[in-house]
Amino acid sequence: MSHSQPQLTELSLVISRSVIEQTVARLAAQIGADYRGRQLVAVGILKGSFIFMADLVRQLGIPLEVDFITVSSYGSGTESSRSVSLCHDLTTDVKGKDVLVIEDIVDTGHTVCFVLEHFAACGASSVRLCALADKPSRRERGVKIDYLGFTVPDRFVVGYGLDFDNKFRYLPEIYALEQHGGQD
C-alpha cells in the first residue's frame, strides 16, 4: 500500500475561519465601494478561486456579472510549471466593463501575469486583480495585487479552495501541508 498521499493529520492550521471571514468582509467592503456605479465583471480563475469568490461576491452589495477562466499552471505537484496555458476562456463580453480577476494565491506570479496579459487587449475599461493570498517569497514575475487578503509563509497551503493534487479544496480553513512523512 502506498503512503505517498498526505493525510489530514499532516496539515497544520495557518489561517483560521474567523480570519478568513474578517478578510473577505474587509475586501468586499473595499471592492464594493470602489466599483459602485461601475459595470463589474468578476472573473474567477478556476478552480482555486471558487470558494473565495462565492463568499466575496455575496458580500459586495453591488450588481455584477460572474464568469470564470480556466488556466493550467500546476500539474499534480507543488512546483510551478512556469508555462501557463488557457484551457477555457470567458463567455462574457467584457468590452467597456470593469474586470476584476479573482485568484486564490499568487506564488511565482506566472499564472496571474498570463491572465492579466490575456485581458490586456480585451477592450475592458479596467482590469484589476484580487487575490486571497500572496506568497511573495517565491515571486518570479512582478505582480500588482490591487486587493490582497493576506500573505502566507513559504509553505504549500490547502483548503478554502486551494488544493494539492485536486485534494483538500473543501476544507473550510487554510492549512499548511507538511511535506515530511509522505513517503516511507
Active site members: 107
Q: How far is the CB of 163 from ligand IMP (least distance, A)?
A: 6
Q: Which stretch binds ligand IMP (CB under 6 A): 28-36, 94-102, 118-126, 157-165?
A: 157-165
Nearer to Mg ion, 18 or 166 (CB): 166
Nearer to ligand IMP, 45 or 97 (CB): 45
Q: Phi, psi at residue 112, to the nearest 5°? A: -70, -35
- 31/36 Cα distance (integer angstroms): 8
Q: Can you read off the three cell numbers belonging to residue 140?
A: 518570479
> Are 101 and 116 in contact, with CB atoms under 8 Å apart?
yes
Q: Does 109 participate in binding ligand IMP (rule CB under 6 A)?
A: yes
Q: Does 74 participate in binding ligand IMP (rule CB under 6 A)?
A: yes
Count residues near ligand IMP (CB under 6 A): 20
Q: Does 48 participate in binding Mg ion (rule CB under 5 A)?
A: yes
- 178/116 Cα distance (integer angstroms): 32
Q: How far is the CB of 114 from ligand IMP (least distance, A)?
A: 8
Amino acid at 31: I
Q: Phi, psi at residue 33, to the nearest 5°? A: -70, -45
Sign of the alpha-carbon torsion through 75, 80, 84, 88: positive
Pick one of 27, 35, 55, 107: the residue that binds ligand IMP (CB under 6 A).
Answer: 107
> Are 82 and 110 in contact, with CB atoms under 8 Å apart?
yes
Which of positions 110-129 make contact with ligand IMP (CB under 6 A)? 110-111
| CA nearest to 183, candidates 28, 4, 19 | 4
Q: Can you read off the three cell numbers belonging to residue 128?
A: 484589476
Q: Which stretch binds Mg ion (CB under 5 A): 11-19, 45-53, 95-103, 149-157?
A: 45-53
Q: Out of ligand IMP, Mg ion, none, which partner does residue 73 contact, by CB within 5 to 8 A per kind?
A: ligand IMP
Kindly list the residues in this chain that would bind Mg ion in the complex (CB under 5 A). 48
Tell me which residues touch ligand IMP (CB under 6 A): 45, 48, 73-74, 80, 103-111, 135, 156-158, 162-163
